Structure 1
Amino acid sequence: MSPANSSLSHRNDSIGVLIGLVRSELVRAMEAELQASGVDLRFTQFLILKRLALMGPMSASELARSVELDGGAMTRQLDQLEGRGLLRRQPHEQDRRALRIELTPLGRTTWEQMTPCNDRVLKAAQKALDATEREQLRDYLERVLTALRDKN
């Protein structure tokens, strides 16, 4: 099926289906890009490292919320990433019962290696849009997200 035909096949899909398809393709492309760059991580693991790199240390529950994982799934991901030396669990400064999750130096280096992968995937995803269309898309998606999160 040519790209023109594949886009026509989605003309009658709901916006929800299209958003789901876009997300699936972004995940697939990102995982392929990571593998091609020698980074053996899944998309969810990439997101965890990205959140820690950009937002700094946080609790496991904060991290789980930020990447939309339940507690059990987050624990499994943290165990795997900690086993690979990419992050560590540190005691919280104020609450000795709590732990903070932080990147290790290897985790920081891995994040720096992944950043160009992320940039390439996002650039490829938007290649058919000019600068104005990219800003419009961002605006539309932010407004949809705000509307969905608005409880009033």
Structure 2
Amino acid sequence: MNTESLAFATPQESLGILLGLVRAEIVRAMETELAAKGLNLSFTQFLILKRLARLGPMSASELARSVELDGGAMTRQLDHLEGKGYLRRCRHEQDRRALRIELTDAGNALWTQLVDCNERVLTAAQRSLSEAEQAQLQDYLERVLHALRDKS
């Protein structure tokens, strides 16, 4: 790993830079996997499909928050994925004014393919770690996330 870019940063800055670099490499690797499968999907679209597959139908605003997009960007992504037949906007059962976003059968079938891509990327990212180190890394990152979200 080239650590020159981290050499002049404080330890706290280095953590942020390193996390950003890791995320960027995961995005790059995932988009490479998607392209190799002949899928015209971005990492953001992958995340949208992943959230819907794992969490089920939700509103566009809930989905936007979960993948950190603003409303306009989410609308464009949903239009693209809906145009490809991977998701649909449906009326909410309790509030007919609201819409829920859900995967179509084609979206669910696509997600089945994407699970393998996701696993390959995450396995490759951790290949230099033992199982114990992988569990430890998971624990550390969950604790950092919890500390950042803790408002008290």
| TM, length-normalised to structure 2 | 0.93
User: In the TM superposition, what is the alpha-carbon distance from 1:11 to its structure 2 partner?
Assistant: 5.2
**AA partner of residue 87 (structure 1):** L
User: In the TM superposition, what is the alpha-carbon distance from 1:40 to its structure 2 partner?
Assistant: 1.5
Aligned to 1:133: 133
Aligned to 1:108: 108
**AA partner of residue 123 (structure 1):** T
Task: Write out aligned runs for 1:61-140 (5 A).
Answer: 61-140=61-140
- 1:39 touches 1:114 (CA, 8 Å); kept in 2? no
- Find the aligned partners of 2:132 and 2:40 in 1 and give their Cα distance: 35
User: In the TM superposition, what is the alpha-carbon distance from 1:9 to its structure 2 partner?
Assistant: 2.8
Identity of counterpart residues, as a percentage?
68
Q: Give the unaligned 5+ runs of structure 2.
A: none
Task: Write out aligned runs for 1:45-56 (5 A).
Answer: 45-56=45-56
**AA partner of residue 78 (structure 1):** L
- 1:86 touches 1:107 (CA, 8 Å); kept in 2? yes
Aligned to 1:9: 4
Paired residues in the alignment total: 147
User: In the TM superposition, what is the alpha-carbon distance from 1:15 to its structure 2 partner?
Assistant: 0.4
Q: Give the unaligned 5+ runs of structure 1.
A: none
Aligned to 1:38, the other structure's residue is in SS state: coil
After superposition, the CA RMSD in angstroms is 1.1
Aligned to 1:88, the other structure's residue is in SS state: strand
**AA partner of residue 111 (structure 2):** W
- Find the aligned partners of 2:20 and 2:26 in 1 and give their Cα distance: 10
Aligned to 1:66, the other structure's residue is in SS state: helix
- 2:6 touches 2:17 (CA, 8 Å); kept in 1? no
**AA partner of residue 9 (structure 1):** E
Aligned to 2:19: 19
| TM, length-normalised to structure 1 | 0.93
